[in-house]
Amino acid sequence: MIKFNVVLFIFLIGLDLVYTDGIGTVEVDLAAATNAIGKKKKPEESIPVIEIRGEGKPMTAAQIRALEETSNGGPLDIKGWSFTGKFDLRPVACPHAAKRLDFVTFHYKGFLEDGKKFDQTYGRGPIRIQLGTGMVMPGLDKGMRGMCDTELRKISVPFRLSRKNKSKVWKHIPNDEHRLNFNIEMLEVEEWTLEKQFKFMDLNNDTYLTESELVRFAETMRKEFGKTWKNEDIDNILAARYYILYFDANSDSKISFEEFKQIIERDQATMETAAKQKTQIAELKNGSNKKKPQKEGRKRDPGFAWILDFNNDGIVSIEENDMADQVFQGPPAILPVFNKDEL
Ligand SMILES: [Ca+2]
Ligand SMILES: [Ca+2]
């Protein structure tokens, strides 16, 4: 972060750029910056003090980033690039490139912008996550898509896409860096299946999901990976109770894989119909002009958060998120119904 201030400062001077923050002209204290770069002291003493002065308030890190995004012409995105030299960047055979929801196991080395390594998983074991479900910072959730078994990839993540709640797995990742660079070694991409999804949540591996297990699953997601409900008012116990009712067709207070599969597939069928209708409506509105439909929320998560999509359209809207803590206080609107023979 601090280094970035220096970089930005040089960038601004180099381009002879004068800008205003809406209140007054901003000046940068050159002497303080030069001093800070020139001397070597104890780490805390060597933190450069760069004053950005103006008639208005000093700029915050967020304002400086906003400025850089303006000069970029839009929000900063992740940058990916290939390893060169001794590494084969992509294996010859790639039977399955990682997609959203796939389970991926990988190693990383993380670097600051100045090239200093801040962490690596080598020596302590790789990480396994479900891609695209918020278990890792958004920049890596996005940047690791398309990777194959044994592939090596460098991913550069701007601040905007590197935010993540504090957690055990990501505790070594600095949280106020302008940009983080990762070397990712993909060990294994496991294509998503309903079986894998069920196993992922079946923490004690006894082929059933129970209320207490779901609560433990939510707690594990938060503690280990910093993944939480978007709606902070959701109570894990109430959500787990609702989840059991949602899937438990034979009323034995636990969910078997058969129950899980049938309900998910029931919902997927409804989602497909909803998606078709949406496309038709969009086509009627736009005529032949095929515009991308506007994003109205987040894609449905096949884990514990499956129950958030109350209208089964595949999207968890802001409204659905907001009402979830209330809805979970009662039973689901649609209860599972099956033939007894099926179960
Ligand atoms: Ca279990
Ligand atoms: Ca929905």
Closest ligand by atom to 301 CA: 2
The tokens 């660079």 sit on which residue?
A: 181
> From ligand 2's centre to the CA of 283, what distance in Å?
20
> From ligand 1's centre to the CA of 97, what distance in Å?
30
Instruction: Tell me the average pLDDT of the chain.
Output: 82
Give residues with Cβ within 8 angstroms of 325, minimum separation 6: 231, 233, 234, 235, 238
Closest ligand by atom to 312 CA: 2
> From ligand 2's centre to the CA of 222, what distance in Å?
23
> From ligand 2's centre to the CA of 343, what distance in Å?
28
What is the model's pLDDT at position 79? 76
Q: Which residues surround ligand 1, an ion (CB under 5 A)?
A: 202, 204, 206, 208, 213
| pLDDT tens per residue across span 20-37 | 333 333 333 444 444 444
Of 131, 305, 141, the closest CA to residue 231 belongs to 305
Closest ligand by atom to 271 CA: 2
Closest ligand by atom to 315 CA: 2
What is the model's pLDDT at position 72? 80
Higher pLDDT, 186 or 58: 186
From 21-30, 160-169, 281-290, the region with the lowest mean pLDDT: 21-30
Per domain, the residue ranges of the chain are 2-72, 79-192, 195-342
- Kindly state the average pLDDT of the residues 65-82: 76
What is the model's pLDDT at position 227? 97
- DSSP letter for 59, please: P
Closest ligand by atom to 213 CA: 1
> From ligand 2's centre to the CA of 170, what distance in Å?
30
Closest ligand by atom to 255 CA: 1
- pTM for this one? 0.75
Q: What is the CATH number of domain 79-192?
A: 3.10.50.40
Does the structure show a pLDDT above 50 at 88?
no
| 119-140 per-residue burial string, b: 16 or more CB within 10 A, e: under 16 | bebeeeeebebbbbbbbbbbbb
Query: What token pair was written down for 189?
Result: 């991409």
